[in-house]
Structure 1
Amino acid sequence: MTDTLTDTLTDTEVLNHWINGANHEGSSTRTAPVYNPARGIVAKQVRLASTADVDAAVASALAAFPVWRETSQAKRQTIMYNFRELLNARKGELADILTAEHGKVTADALGEIARGIEVVEFALGMPHLAKGEFSENVSTGVDVYTLRQPLGVVGIISPFNFPAMVPMWFYPIAIAAGNTVVLKPSEKDPSAANWMAELMMEAGLPAGVFNVIHGDKEAVDALLVHPDVQSISFVGSTPIAKYIFETASSHGKRVQALGGAKNHMLVLPDADLDLTADAAVNAGFGSAGERCMAISVVLAVEPVADDLIAKIAERMKGLRVGDGMRGCDMGPLITEAHRDKVASYIDLATTDGADVVVDGRGVEVDGEASGFWLGPTLFDKVSTESAVYQDEIFGPVLSVVRVESYEEGLDIINRGRYGNGTAIFTNDGGAGRRFQHEVQVGMVGINVPIPVPVAYHSFGGWKESAFGDAKAYGPAGIAFFTREKAVTSRWLDPSHGGINLGFPQSH
C-alpha cells in the first residue's frame, strides 16, 4: 500500500493511536519516521497498528455507538458548534502542525483548514439536512414517511496532502449524523489527526466516538474487511482507490473511493493571459503541486502559447521557495523519495522531446539544504504520448501542450483516463457554456483554476478519478453516512373493514 520505512522504537517522540478518548500505545512495536521535510530530518516516530490495534479502535467505536446514536440532535449540534469555535480560535496551532509535517506554507495550511471548517459548518445543518419526507393519506388512513438513521462505525482513510481538510470532508458529517468514526490518517503526517480528535473531546464529544489509528497496509486492510465497519471513505492515488473500493465493497461496505488526477487548463485565444498566467502558477505550484486538483497540464490554443509561457515563466522567477514557517510561497515535497521521483521527470521530458523552460532542480531556497526541495518546473511542447503527460506526477511540474483548436483541446481532455477537475480560460460565454456541457470531467472551472466545490455541493470526479458513485460531503455526504428507512403507518379504528387477504392497494 505504501513504501513507508519501518523502524523499532527509539528515543524520538512517538505518536500513539487515539482510542476511546486517550493515547493508546497498542500491541505493535513497529513505527515509521515522520519527517520535517523542510529540514530533511526525522521529527518523531508514529506507531504502525497491528490488526489487533485496529480491532481495539473499532471495538471502542462500536461500544460508543448506541449511546451516541440516541444522543439528541440538539446535543450533537452543540458539540459540533463548540468544535467549530475551538477550531477557529486555535487554527494557528493546527496550521503549524501541517507546515511542520507536510511542508506546505502557513498561508496554504490556513486555507486548507478554512475549507475543512466549511464542512463542519455544513454539518451544523444536520437537523434540516437529515430530515425525512412525509406523505399523508396515501391510502385511506395510511401515511408514509422516511427516516434517516446512522450506519454505525465508519472508517476513514486519508492522504498525506491534506492532513486536516480531507478528514474534515467526512468525520463532521458522519459524527453529526450519529455515527462513530475510526480515522486512519497518512503515516507521513499523522499528528493533525490526533490534534483534531483531542479538540473534539474538548468540545464535548464522548470518548470512543472519534478514534484515530495509525498504520500502513496492515491497518488499512484490517479496516477494509472488519465486520463491524459499515463504510469506508478514502482519498488517494487511483491504484489504491481501486483496491480500496474492490476490497471494501466485496466485504459488504459502502465505499467512497476518490482517486488520482491529471487536470487540464484549456486556454482559448481570447483569454486574459495575465489572469491565466496567474491562475496557472497558483494552481500548478501551490502546495508544491501535491494536490489532486492541481493544474498539471495547460492546453494552449494557438497562437497564445509563446506569450502565455513567457508570462508564466516570468511569474515563476518571483516565487520564493523555502521553509513554510518563513513566509515563503512554496515549501518542500513530502519525502526525499517523492522529491527524487518528481525530479526524474525533468530528464524524461528532455528525452521525450519536450523543452524544459524552467528547471526546478538546484533552486535557491530559504531553508536548510537538507530539505526535500524541488523548485517550480515548466515544460513546453510536451507530447501526450510521454509519461510526463500520462502520469500523475504530484509535484511542482507544469506541462504545456500546444493545440490548434478548442475541439482538439477538448478531445485530449476527454480521452484522458482521469476525470477529476478541469478548467477553461476564456472571455467567450458561449465557449464556457459549451465546455461545461461537453467536457467529461466531474468538476469544472470557468476562469477558476481549482474548482473544488463548496461544502454544500459534493466533491468527486469521473472515470479513473473515482470508483463507485459516492461523492464526498454536501448532499452526497448526507446520503452516504445515513440509511433511509420508509415507514408505512395506519392507526386503526373500529371501521377498518376486517380481514382481506388480497394484495394491499391504494384507495
Structure 2
Amino acid sequence: MKHVTHWIGGKPWTAGAERHGDVYDPATGQVSGHVDFASADDVDAAVRAAAEAFASWRRVSLARRASIMFAFRELIREHTAELAALITAEHGKVAADAAGEVARGLEVVEFACGIPHLLKGGYSENVSTSVDSYSIRQPLGVVAGITPFNFPAMVPMWMFPLAIACGNTFVLKPSEKDPSASLLLARLWAQAGLPDGVFNVVHGDKVAVDALLTHPDVAALSFVGSTPIARYVYETGTSHGKRVQALGGAKNHMVVLPDADLDLAADAAVSAGFGSAGERCMAISALVAVDPVGDELLAKIKDRVGKLIVGPGADERSEMGPLVTGPHRDKVASYLDSGVAQGASLPIDGRRHPVTGGDAGGFWLGPSVLDHVTPEMSCYTDEIFGPVLSMLRAPSYEAAVSLVNNSPYGNGVAVFTCDGGAARRFVSEAEIGMVGVNVPIPVPMAYYSFGGWKSSLFGDTHVHGTEGVHFYTHGKVVTSRWPDPSHGGVNLGFPVNS
C-alpha cells in the first residue's frame, strides 16, 4: 500500500500527518494507497521554504532558468510512460489519454523554455531631452496552484513551468484523489537542477486550500475546478490581497448545422463527449442538432458507441475507463434517471454498456445519451462531468446560437459545418472564450492562452501563453536621465589619456 506525502524544500516531508485520505484504483474500486493531508502548519512550512528560495531564485539568470527548464523537459519525455501509468492507476483514464495529457502539459514546459524571449521588455531612447524609458517584468514571489483530479499532470503544468521560469517559487496543491503524479514531477524538477524550495507540493483538502488562500506570503494563486469553488477561491484570495485566476466549470456545446459532414460530427461527438469518461472541462456535454439532422446524427452516434470498448485504463484494448470515484459515478448516473423524469428520452443507457476485463467493483458507467433535452432540465443546466451527452434540437442557426449564448458558462464551443460563411459568423457571434470550427475540443496550443468567459472564469487573465507570463509577473516602467559628464554632469572618474 503506497504512502503519498508532501514535497517541501526539495525533499519528501518527514514530519508526519494527523489526517489522511484514501487513494483508489478506479478500475477495481479498491484502496491502493493513502495520502497525507496538510495542516495549516504544513502549508506554512511549504510557503516558508518557497519564500526563502525566492530570494536567490529571482536573481538566477534567464539563461540558467532556461537551461533547467530544458533539462526538466527532457526528463518528462523520458518518464512519460511512468507519469501516464500513475495517472491511469489513480484517475482511471486509458493509457492513450494519460500519455496525451502528459504531452499537452509538456507543450507549456517547452513554451517556458523560451523565457529569455518572453520576458523581453521595450526600450525608447530620448523620450525627452536626455531621458530614456524602458519596461521590464519582474516576478511576484511565492505563487500557488490548486488543481483538479481530471488532469493531475497537465493542469499543474499549465501553471508552474511559466511561474518558475518567470522567477517565482511555487506551491502546488493537487487533487487528493490522484496525488502521485505531482510527486514524480517534483523529483524530476530536482533532477533537472531546480534549487530546493522553488517547487513544493502539499496534499489535502479544504484546510490546505484555505491556508494557501489566506497566507500573507502567497502573492498569487491559480485554480481550476468547478464554478462554485472557483468563485470561492477568487473571492477569498482577492479579499486577502492576492492576484487570482480561477477557472470554473463548463457546459460546452457542439452545434451541428444541416450542411455538416455527419460522419465527422458523429466521430467528434463520441470522442469529445466520452473521451476520458467525460471528465474534462472541455468535454462536449451538449450536442445541438439543427433541424433536420438530429435523427440521422443520433443513429450514427449509437452505431459508434455500440463499438466502444469500456474497460480498465491499463488494458490496451480499452477506449474508455472508469470514473474517478464511486460517489462521483453514482452522481453522474443519477442524471440519467432525472433526465427521463423531466421529459428526455434515453436512447443510449451507459449502465447497460458491457465492461471488458473490468473488476465488478470498479467505478463503471458507459457512454450515455439523453435526447430531446430542453434548457430547463438539470441534465442541461448542471455540469455533469461524466460520459453523458445531452442532445438538444434547434429549429434554426439563430436558435442554436441563442442556446449557446444563454448558457451561464462560456468555456468552449464547437460548430460543425461545410459553409465557411456560416463558420465565420458563428465564430463572431458565439459569446464563448474558445471556439472550434469542425474541431470539437478547441484547447489552444501553449503559446496561446486557455480560458473561458462568464461563469467559466473569475479573474482577468487566462492560463499559459502570453497572458500566463503577465499573470506571474509585475510590469515596471523605468524612466532615466544620465547627464553627459562633458556638460557639467557628474564626473564618473573615467581614466583619460593625458
Asked if Structure 1 and Structure 2 have the same fold, meaning a TM-score greater than 0.5 normalized by the shorter chain, the answer is yes
Q: Distance in 2 between matches of 1:191 and 1:412?
A: 40
* Equivalent pair of 1:27/1:53 in contact (CA under 8 Å): no
Aligned residue for 1:435? Answer: 426
* Of 467, 476, 480, the match for 1:489: 480
Please give the alpha-carbon distance, in whole angstroms, between the structure 2 residues aligned to 1:301 and 1:470. Answer: 34
- The residue number in structure 2 matching 1:501 is none
1:322 matched to 2:311? The reply is yes
Counterpart in the other structure of 1:100: 89
Please tell me whether residue 257 in structure 1 is matched to residue 258 in structure 2.
Answer: no
Counterparts of 1:496 and 1:384, CA distance in 2: 76
Identity of counterpart residues, as a percentage?
Answer: 63
Task: Output one character per residue of 1:62-92: Cα deviation in whole Å (capped at 9) or x when no partner.
Answer: 1111111111111111111011011111100
| Other-structure match for 2:35 | 46
What SS does structure 2 have at the residue aligned with 1:270? coil
Give the Cα separation in 1 of the matches to 2:136 and 2:454: 33
**TM-superposed deviation, 1:27:** 5.2
Partner of 1:447: 438
1:154 alignment partner, SS class? strand
Aligned-partner residue type, residue 319 of structure 1: L
Matching residue of 2:331: 341
Q: 1:476 aligns with which of 467, 473, 489?
A: 467
Aligned counterpart for 1:365 among listed residues 348, 355, 358: 355
Tell me by how many angstroms 1:495 deviates: 7.9
Q: Distance in 2 between matches of 1:26 and 1:332?
A: 35
**Residue number in structure 1 paired with 2:494:** none
Partner of 1:3: none
> Residue by residue, what CA displacement relative to the aligned partner does 1:166-213 show, whole Å, maximum 9, x if unpaired?
000010001111110000000000000111011010111111100000
Q: Secondary structure at the match of 1:334?
A: coil
Is the CA contact 1:152–1:180 (under 8 Å) kept in the aligned structure 2? Answer: yes
TM-score by length of 1: 0.95
Q: How many residues align?
A: 487
Q: Is contact 1:26-1:49 (8 Å) kept? A: no
Shift in Å, 1:26: 3.8
Confirm or deny: 8 A CA contact 1:157 1:220 kept in the other structure. Answer: yes
Alignment partners' CA distance in 2, 1:139 and 1:497? 19
Within 5 Å, give how 1:1-150 maps onto structure 2. Answer: 12-26=1-15, 28-150=17-139
C-alpha deviations, 1:357-404, integer Å up to 9, x for none?
110114321211110000000111011110011100000000110010
- The residue aligned with 2:405 is 414
**CA offsets, 1:462-497, max 9 Å, x none?**
000001111000000010111111111111135879
Q: Which residue of 2 aligns with 1:163?
A: 152
2: distance between equivalents of 1:102 and 1:125? 32
**Residue identity opposite 2:478 in structure 1:** V
**Counterpart for residue 224 of structure 1:** 213
- Residue 374 of structure 2 corresponds to which residue in structure 1? 383
Unpaired segments of 5 or more residues in structure 1? 1-11, 499-507
The alignment partner of 1:401 has SS state of strand
Offset at residue 410 of structure 1 (A): 0.3
Instruction: Give the aligned residue type for 1:440.
Output: E
Question: Which of 183, 198, 202 matches 1:209?
Answer: 198
1:497 and 1:318 map into 2 onto residues whose CA distance is: 86
**Structure 2 Cα separation of the partners of residues 89 and 124 of structure 1:** 17
User: Does the CA contact (< 8 Å) of 1:455 and 1:473 recur in 2?
Assistant: yes
Residue identity opposite 2:49 in structure 1: S
Q: Residue 324 of structure 1 aligns to a residue in which SS?
A: coil
**Distance in 2 between residues matched to 1:391 and 1:235, nearest whole Å:** 17
Q: Which amino acid aligns with 2:130?
A: G
Letter in 1 for 2:289: A
| SS at structure 2 position matched to 1:326 | coil
**Distance in 2 (alpha carbons) for counterparts of 1:30 and 1:385:** 41
Residue identity opposite 2:420 in structure 1: G
Q: Supply the distance in 2 between the matched residues of 1:481 and 1:83 (Cα, whole angstroms).
A: 20
1:245 aligns with 2:234: yes
Q: Are residue 233 (structure 1) and residue 260 (structure 2) matched? A: no
State how far apart, in whole Å, the 2-side matches of 1:105 and 1:38 are: 10
**Equivalent residue for 1:424, pick from 412, 415, 420:** 415
Instruction: Give the match for residue 299 of structure 1.
Output: 288
Instruction: State the match for 2:321 in structure 1.
Output: 331
1:347 deviation in Å? 0.7
Measured in 2, the distance between the counterparts of 1:151 and 1:157 equals: 17
Distance 1:26 1:230 in 2: 26
Candidates 179, 182, 187, aligned match of 2:176: 187
Range that drifts further, 38-47 or 357-366:
357-366
Q: C-alpha separation between the residues in 1 aligned to 2:14 and 2:393? A: 54
Equivalent residue of 2:79, what SS? helix
Contact 1:27 / 1:50 at 8 angstroms: preserved in 2?
A: no
- Aligned match of 1:6: none
Q: Secondary structure at the match of 2:314?
A: helix
Q: Distance in 1 between matches of 2:280 and 2:488?
A: 65
SS at match of 2:107: helix
- Give the match's secondary structure for 1:288: helix
Match of 2:492 in 1: none
Q: 1:348 to 1:142 in 2, by over 3 A?
A: same
Match of 2:260 in 1: 271
What is the letter of the counterpart of residue 96 of structure 1? Answer: A
TM-score in terms of structure 2 length: 0.97
Contact 1:27 / 1:52 at 8 angstroms: preserved in 2?
Answer: no
Deviation, structure 1 residue 14 = 1.8
RMSD: 1.1
2:455 — aligned with what? 464
TM-fit CA distance, 1:13: 2.7
Distance in structure 2 (CA, Å) of the matches to 1:410 and 1:213: 43
Q: Is the 8 A contact 1:25 1:47 kept in 2?
A: no
Give, in angstroms, the shift of residue 319 of structure 1: 0.4
